[in-house]
Structure 1
Amino acid sequence: MTVIVVFVIGLAAVAGWWLAHQRLTAKPWLEEGVIADFPGGGRLSPPTAKVGLGVFIAVAGSLFALIISAYVMRMALLDWRPVPIPWLVWFNTLVLVLSSGVLQWTQGAARRGDQEGTVTGLLAAGVASVVFLVGQLLAWQQLLAAGYGVAGNPANSFFYLVTAVHGLHLLGGLVALGRAIAGAWRGADLPRLRLSVELCAMYWHFLLLVWLVLLALLSGWMVAFFDTCRQLVS
């Protein structure tokens, strides 16, 4: 259960950081200036979209927390045989880190009004994300060819389940990323483009964080780390 607690605490820390940047403690009735200059003073769609994404991330985080909980409880039984992590999975992880970093850079380009840089960054992030998904499928093929079928062992089933659920979330994010690319290509207005890029960057950072936690769990690093901590404390 320690793994789940740490994962939930991590999500709560990220959510707290995000909320801290949404000016929830601001007192707009004490501020002066043009109404449209303040958050919520103009169009309501940007904050609404951010809140909607925040709610979705919380729900998705809860789903992954439940999967992690089931994984940890199931691996304690005697019939559990860990799945060897293909080298391709580590390469895919680097690609996902790259896509998340590119979107962070693209967010800065959108804020500067760099239309060409924004389009290039979105396309690069999209290509990297597709490479990640294709790499995950190839990793599946490697495991199947090595005899690690879905029904061969509970650990095998969990590996395919975990990677599939994460991949589906990334695939859904590609739909939103594709819309952002189309909007940037058509020359959408700058505020809308900034919002789209910011939402995509937030979602990709979340998926990267979740994947790093899942990879640490699948590779056994996280469990070994907490076992070592328990031994040191006891």
Structure 2
Amino acid sequence: MSSIVIFLAVIASISGWWLSRQRLTAKPWLEEGDTSAFPGTDALALSPTTVGLGVFLAVVGSLFALLISAYSIRMGMEDWRALPLPRLLWFNTGALVLGSCALLWAQVSVRRQEMDGVKVSLLAGGFFTVIFLIGQIAAWRQLVVGGYFLSTNPANTFFYLITGLHGLHVLGGLAALGRTADKVWRGTDIRRIRLSVELCAVYWHFLLFIWLILLSLLTGWAGDFIAVCRGFLS
């Protein structure tokens, strides 16, 4: 439960910060003039797509928080047998880091209106992300060859469930990235694709953040942190 509480506290903090910028205590019926003249109204300019992505990331984050909590509880039972993690996971992590860096490059390039930089960075981001997915499948195959099947042990089940669910979200991100790249290669004005590129970058950073948390959990690094949190909340 500690991981859920911590995650919800983070979400609540971010939501409180965002709501504080919405001028909830303002009385618009008493104000006159252009809305741009009043401080804080720029926060209302968020596009529906941006808000939608924020809600989606909150839901996905909550889902993974529940899985992390279930994992930490289940691993304390007697029938838990931790499986050896393939070293390939470290290579896959590096590929995902490079993919996130490439999308950061795309984000910077689109703000500078450098179309060539946007094209190269989107291709690089897609390439490294595909490498990550291929590497994850290869890691699964290594475990299967070693006799670590889905139903052999609860630890195996959680590993395939967690990594598979993360992979599905990465695959969905690739679909969105493909649509954005298609707009770029069709010659769409760079100002019209800026939002799409920036949202893709945010999603990639989020996926990297989630994966690093999952990797620390699977490798056991998060065990001490969870114990400290439990002691703090008890």
Same fold (TM over 0.5): yes
CA drift at 1:229: 7.1
CA drift at 1:11: 4.8
Name 1:85's counterpart in structure 2.
85
CA contact (8 A) 1:84 1:219 kept: no
Question: Structure 1: which 5+ runs fail to align?
Answer: none
CA contact (8 A) 1:148 1:156 kept: yes
- Please give the per-residue CA displacement for 1:63-100, whole angstroms capped at 9, x wherever unaligned: 11111122122111100011211111011111111111
Name 1:103's counterpart in structure 2.
103
Name 1:76's counterpart in structure 2.
76
Alignment of 1:132-151 (within 5 A): 132-151=132-151
TM, length-normalised to structure 1: 0.85
CA distance in structure 2 between the partners assigned to 1:134 and 1:209 by the alignment: 19
CA contact (8 A) 2:22 2:44 kept: no
Question: Structure 2: which 5+ runs fail to align?
Answer: 27-32
CA drift at 1:61: 1.0
CA distance in structure 1 between the partners assigned to 2:86 and 2:14 by the alignment: 30
CA contact (8 A) 1:99 1:128 kept: yes
Name 1:199's counterpart in structure 2.
199
Alignment of 1:122-201 (within 5 A): 122-201=122-201
Kindly report structure 1 stretches of 4+ aligned residues shifted beyond 4 Å. 10-17, 25-30, 38-41, 228-234
Task: Mark the CA change 1:199 to 1:164 in structure 2 (over 3 Å): closer, same or farther.
Answer: same
Q: Which amino acid aligns with 2:161?
A: L
CA drift at 1:3: 3.0
TM, length-normalised to structure 2: 0.85
CA contact (8 A) 1:126 1:177 kept: yes
Name 2:30's counterpart in structure 1.
none
CA distance in structure 2 between the partners assigned to 1:108 and 1:190 by the alignment: 12
- Please give the per-residue CA displacement for 1:25-52, whole angstroms capped at 9, x wherever unaligned: 598955349xxxx6767xxxx6111001
Q: Which amino acid aligns with 2:141?
A: Q
Which of 10, 28, 36 does residue 31 from structure 1 map onto? 36
CA drift at 1:192: 2.1
Task: Mark the CA change 1:90 to 1:12 in structure 2 (over 3 Å): closer, same or farther.
Answer: farther
CA drift at 1:10: 4.3
CA contact (8 A) 2:2 2:229 kept: no
CA drift at 1:14: 5.9
CA distance in structure 2 between the partners assigned to 1:148 and 1:129 by the alignment: 26
Task: Mark the CA change 1:169 to 1:14 in structure 2 (over 3 Å): closer, same or farther.
Answer: farther
Task: Mark the CA change 1:230 to 1:40 in structure 2 (over 3 Å): closer, same or farther.
Answer: closer
Task: Mark the CA change 1:30 to 1:11 in structure 2 (over 3 Å): closer, same or farther.
Answer: closer
CA contact (8 A) 2:2 2:226 kept: yes
Task: Mark the CA change 1:74 to 1:177 in structure 2 (over 3 Å): closer, same or farther.
Answer: same
Alignment partner of 1:48 is 2:48: yes
Task: Mark the CA change 1:8 to 1:232 in structure 2 (over 3 Å): closer, same or farther.
Answer: closer
CA drift at 1:134: 0.3
CA drift at 1:2: 2.4
Q: Which amino acid aligns with 1:60?
A: V
- Please give the per-residue CA displacement for 1:185-227, whole angstroms capped at 9, x wherever unaligned: 1111222211011010111111111111111111111013333
How many residues align? The count is: 224
Name 2:60's counterpart in structure 1.
60
